[in-house]
Amino acid sequence: MMRLADHPWLLWLGPTLAVIAALTILAGHRRRQQRLARFGSPEALVRLGPPGLATVPRARAIRLALAAGLLGLALTGPRWGTGSAIVDSEGIDVALALDVSLSMLAEDERPNRLERMKQEVRRFRASAPGDRAALLAFAGRSYILAPLTSDDGALELFLENLDPTIVGQAGSAIAPPLRQGIDLLSVSQGGADRALVIFSDGEAFDDRAEALKLAEEAKAKGIFVVTVGFGTPGGAPIPLLETGGTEVKRDENGEIVTTRYDDRLLAEIARAADGEFVPAEATDKGTRVRRALAQLESVRREEERRLTRPLRYQWFVGLALLLLLVDVYIADGGRFRRRVRATATVALLLAMLVPGVLAAQNPLRAAVKDQEAGRVLPAIRAYREAVARGDRRPEVLYDLGTALLAADSLDAAVDALERSAFTQEPELRARSLYNLGLAYLRRGLRSEGETRQTQLRNARRALRTVLLQKPGDADAQWNYELALRAPPQGGGGGGGAPPPPQQQSQAPRDPQPQGQMSRQQAEALLDAAGRDERETQARRQRGSRSQSAVGGKDW
């Protein structure tokens, strides 16, 4: 059921405040009459006193009761109707190519590959609200469902109705969405970096050489390619839509078709494009895609966005303020008393607007003290509560990520620090990237194989940005060299090297003149890292098995 207020449990507050305000005015009038009764009879006071001395202030009680009630209702966060707003956003241009072939209905991922893919796309969009996104659906051929847009409502509409029937030609081919994504992004305007993200189970039957050639073309045109896998190597049967899933697909010999996740082509496409591959076994793929795209340069945009049920508390606050101002000018008394009432009006208005800010700030102050005292778990709880209430300022996300890093909760720390690194404040961005690089470094030193290399590569990317911004940062230099020279297999401490520095504290670090690195030295380290990565990719390409195209398959 759609709620008409953010905090419906506060609906009792409006009537309660109205009753309290009315009773307070009437009680004040009664006490005043009791005090005046000491000086004479009511008839004498009416004759000798100012007009309205004995009149019960019912009108004033109603005015103030309505004002208090309106302020109480405003606190509930009322919403209704539709509206629009000019939003200042920052992001990149990204095309999302979604595999909707029949094989995506396999249930080796719950509830099935297709629904899991939708969940990860939604997670990615939630982490990148400033990006312009286009939707492509592909099976045997590719279709553009939505051009580049920031309208999440339109994207969600297409995403919700996505299934294999949306593409007329059955089968699985990755080259068509690569071509269509490149063409779509090549004509995008605005100066932002561009990315093509392909979500698929990797079971493609088209020309592998053509797909790799298109991946190289994307690289040449500056389009960053990310491939994301779904499914399991063991595979699963394919439920048939027309039978409601009660029957499964069979081949021409009557044998049950088993679709299996194949990561070879997806990984080769990512390597050929010098992009990123997110394997099917990875958790939180949407966030992993966001991290892979974090290195791209975004641009600031102003655009009009349609809002569904925007906040309408301003109407209640405005009417309450109007009633209070009317009361100031109508009520009896001299200038001094009117000034007092005007001051009270402003105070009530501030009391309406400030509590939310104060409520958010006080727990954060306590969280900072807890973190400084080494009590990271209470600090993490406070930061998470603030984020859950909607306080997603970069400094709050940075504090949360730093506390999580101190608690060795690396996955959650990476997520928070990645988001805080999008700030425009240079010092905070450098701190976020430093801690992000440290989190990746720790994960890499504890991993093995491909996962290890991926984590260390991410650490180098984050620390590389810090070094280019601050070439004399000795801690970043140390961590970068450790990520660069870590042994290719096994965990540990990098060949007996001392452990990396601890995560950066909230306070700015003091300059460290000893061991400074010049910009030229930093560039030399970056060039060495690039050569190392290119050689690694070349070895993988030489050792990878070629995949033959298989025709005649419609899943």
pLDDT of 303: 61
Answer yes or no: do 184 and 157 share one domain: yes
Is 146 or 135 the better-scoring residue by pLDDT?
A: 135
Answer yes or no: do 411 and 384 share one domain: yes
In a domain, 523, yes or no: no
Q: 545 pLDDT exceeds 70?
A: no
Beta carbons of 200 and 227 less than 8 angstroms apart:
yes
pLDDT of 504: 37
Q: 492 pLDDT exceeds 50?
A: no
In a domain, 126, yes or no: yes
Taking the C-alpha atoms of residue 117 and residue 175, their distance in angstroms, rounded to an integer, is: 19
Answer yes or no: do 465 and 510 share one domain: yes
- Per-residue burial over 485-496, b if 16 or more Cβ lie within 10 Å, else e, is ebeeeeeeebee
Is 195 or 51 the better-scoring residue by pLDDT?
A: 195
Span 456-470, average pLDDT: 84
Q: Domain span at residue 14? A: 8-78+312-353
Q: Give me the amino acid identity at 274.
A: D
Span 120-140, average pLDDT: 90
pLDDT in tens, 308-340: 566 788 888 888 888 877 777 676 544 555 556
Q: Rounded to whole angstroms, what are the CA distances from 375 to 192, 274, 398, 435?
A: 41, 42, 17, 19
CA–centroid distance for 154 within its chain: 18
194 CB contacts (<8 Å, ≥6 apart)?
92, 93, 94, 95, 185, 188, 222, 223, 224, 296
Q: What's the total number of domains in the chain?
A: 3
Answer yes or no: do 42 and 89 share one domain: no
pLDDT in tens, 260-302: 999 999 999 999 999 999 999 998 899 999 999 988 988 877 6
- Name the band, by pLDDT with cuts 50, 70 and 90, for residue 114: very high
**CA neighbor of 231 nearest in space, from 181, 172, 177:** 172
Answer yes or no: do 31 and 17 share one domain: yes
Answer yes or no: do 180 and 103 share one domain: yes
In a domain, 522, yes or no: no
Answer yes or no: do 170 and 39 share one domain: no
Q: 437 pLDDT exceeds 70?
A: yes
In a domain, 378, yes or no: yes
Identify the residue whose tokens are 């001051």: 343
pLDDT of 528: 52
Q: 519 pLDDT exceeds 60?
A: no
Beta carbons of 113 and 201 less than 8 angstroms apart:
yes
In a domain, 526, yes or no: no
- Name residue 287's beta-bridge partners: none
Answer yes or no: do 319 and 399 share one domain: no
pLDDT of 549: 33
pLDDT in tens, 348-366: 655 555 454 444 445 567 7
Mean pLDDT of the chain, nearest integer:
77
What's the DSSP call for residue 505? P
pLDDT in tens, 470-480: 887 888 888 88
Q: What is the pTM of this model?
A: 0.48
Q: Tell the burial category of 48 from Cβ atoms under 10 Å away from its Cβ (0-12, 13-18, 19+).
A: exposed
Q: 500 pLDDT exceeds 50?
A: no
509's tokens: 């670090």
Answer yes or no: do 256 and 373 share one domain: no
Q: Give me the amino acid identity at 284.
A: D
Taking the C-alpha atoms of residue 320 and residue 183, their distance in angstroms, rounded to an integer, is: 55
Q: 59 pLDDT exceeds 90?
A: no
**Least reliable range by pLDDT among 211-220, 334-343, 413-422, 535-544:** 535-544
Beta carbons of 248 and 256 less than 8 angstroms apart:
yes
pLDDT of 544: 37
Answer yes or no: do 72 and 121 share one domain: no
Q: 217 pLDDT exceeds 90?
A: yes
Taking the C-alpha atoms of residue 70 and residue 450, their distance in angstroms, rounded to an integer, is: 60
Answer yes or no: do 457 and 348 share one domain: no
CATH code of the domain in which 288 resides? 3.40.50.410
274's tokens: 């010098």
pLDDT of 379: 83
In a domain, 537, yes or no: no
pLDDT in tens, 167-177: 767 788 999 99
In a domain, 548, yes or no: no
Answer yes or no: do 178 and 216 share one domain: yes
- Per-residue burial over 161-185, b if 16 or more Cβ lie within 10 Å, else e, is ebebeebeeebbbbbbbbbbbbebb
Beta carbons of 170 and 140 less than 8 angstroms apart:
yes
Is 269 or 7 the better-scoring residue by pLDDT?
A: 269
In a domain, 524, yes or no: no
CATH code of the domain in which 497 resides? 1.25.40.10
